[in-house]
Structure 1
């Protein structure tokens, strides 16, 4: 197997993606939207408070909003970039040509995945100068900044892998995108509702002074990106989850384990099924 640094599929995809004006136009509008939001928030806060300075507590609120904006960008963009990587090749009837080359299935899948991940990482890094304005006003530590971006990368890689997997398993790009976005909504929204319902049922069924840990509730909280980010931005959320579930286990470890396994399984399935589906189509 050739090294990842000499993956022709990856190089081709990067050239095609970064030579497109659509990519840079999308990046331009994203940065403009971030700038408008940041400076608009600062202007409104200073105007309402009647002061000429920006408080560290207000800077933390701005950091929290920007973190969730970046999370939303990853959750809604990663599936769209990866859910059509293989199915679009199949629809254009260029996949058989790609499979006749000397590239292995892993090189094809990893090249398609990493090109999409690289574009989103570039988009996130392009917004770092705007994002880092919060350091000018205090209230944010560099570790908070680094931790948010590390977990954004984990989320990006996991949902990107899921998109490539569905693109390999499903022949139609539209159906693949629906399946990928459905999985994303389930993991990021439905798990939050299930966590709330689980905790309510636990409190209703709890009798006397007997307190039993809710491992299901803790698992649902651990795999939800919104709950994880809330625990990073507010330590009280992490303590509240542990108090409600009675499970003394950091949710960020459960998050890494779950999405690490999901990423590996999705890539393995995509690699295994890439040539199988092509044979069946013939």
Structure 2
């Protein structure tokens, strides 16, 4: 049982990534940027209001900005960390040696994925002291804070799994990275555009007296990170989506189900395709 839980690939990748000075330089720069943004926001807000205190309503706005900054960090950095993990080994011609070891395909794929996810998780956790400064001014509940972190990690794991999948299926790192960023842009840009079109069509139907439930529109709203996080921070947005689609199914359940399924399917396909060209034992 202990040998199954042991993952040498994960141990090697974590040591290589966290022993690099570039990793901690990146964390330092990220924290400096967050501190500058938070204190700059507080200074500008209090200066414009002509007060020396920070209102709870302004704290909610700051928390929303920080949440979307964290979301942007996950969306744009995760593909760069995961899209070249397997294809990079193939380009360096070290993948055949890795496949001849006693490590299973799942251990290799999960080790590569978790090493990248852990670095981004460290980046998010390192920013928690700055992120949690909003509690000093009120307006934010700890439950909302924990929900935001939970769904950030769900999104991080799903996009990282897609990066591992494309890195396994595509031989070139550049093409794999383009495919991963393309899928990310599909969920963040094309999906909300399709949602707006469907809602517009549904509103025309409502005006003509033939309104029907828009399950497709509700699904599109559920799988779009921006719409979902906006509804998480402002419950009235979730109610507006339900009013427009006439579907009362909670958005957070659809988000968890979809991105959980994306993670599982991506890891499963990557595991099956990793040794596809190797001769099977007779």
Provide TM-score, normalisation by structure 1. Answer: 0.96
Residue in structure 1 matched with residue 167 of structure 2 by the alignment: 167
Residue pairs, 1:159-238, within 5 angstroms: 159-206=159-206, 208-238=208-238
Residue pairs, 1:45-64, within 5 angstroms: 45-64=45-64
In structure 2, distance between residues paired with 1:101 and 1:236: 54
Residue in structure 2 matched with residue 255 of structure 1 by the alignment: 255
Stretches of structure 2 lacking an aligned partner (at least 5 in a row): none
Residue in structure 1 matched with residue 107 of structure 2 by the alignment: 107
Kept after mapping to 2: 8 A contact 1:169/1:277: no
Kept after mapping to 2: 8 A contact 1:87/1:170: yes
Residue in structure 1 matched with residue 128 of structure 2 by the alignment: 128
In structure 2, distance between residues paired with 1:83 and 1:259: 18
- 1:198-253 Cα offsets, whole Å, 9 max, x none, are 11112224454332100010010000010110011101100000000000100110
- 1:5-57 Cα offsets, whole Å, 9 max, x none, are 41000000000000011111111111000000000000001111000100000
In structure 1, distance between residues paired with 2:162 and 2:173: 14
In structure 2, distance between residues paired with 1:238 and 1:219: 13
In structure 2, distance between residues paired with 1:122 and 1:147: 18
CA positional deviation for 1:278: 5.8
**Secondary structure class of the residue paired with 1:209:** coil
Kept after mapping to 1: 8 A contact 2:205/2:211: no
Q: Which moved more, 1:207-216 or 1:51-60?
A: 207-216
Kept after mapping to 2: 8 A contact 1:166/1:179: yes
Residue in structure 2 matched with residue 144 of structure 1 by the alignment: 144
**Secondary structure class of the residue paired with 1:210:** coil
Residue in structure 2 matched with residue 239 of structure 1 by the alignment: 239
In structure 1, distance between residues paired with 2:251 and 2:2: 37
Q: Does 1:27 align with 2:27?
A: yes
Residue in structure 1 matched with residue 119 of structure 2 by the alignment: 119
Residue in structure 2 matched with residue 15 of structure 1 by the alignment: 15
CA positional deviation for 1:2: 6.2
**Secondary structure class of the residue paired with 1:195:** helix
Q: Does 1:79 align with 2:88?
A: no
- 1:78-133 Cα offsets, whole Å, 9 max, x none, are 11100000000000000001011100000000000000000000000000000010
Q: In structure 2, do the counterparts of structure 1 residues 40 and 207 end up closer, same or farther at CA, with 3 Å as the change threshold?
A: closer
Query: What RMSD in Å do the two structures reach over aligned CA positions?
Result: 1.2
Q: In structure 2, do the counterparts of structure 1 residues 161 and 224 end up closer, same or farther at CA, with 3 Å as the change threshold?
A: same
Q: In structure 2, do the counterparts of structure 1 residues 178 and 93 end up closer, same or farther at CA, with 3 Å as the change threshold?
A: same
Kept after mapping to 1: 8 A contact 2:217/2:245: yes
- 1:50-85 Cα offsets, whole Å, 9 max, x none, are 001000000000000000000000000111100000
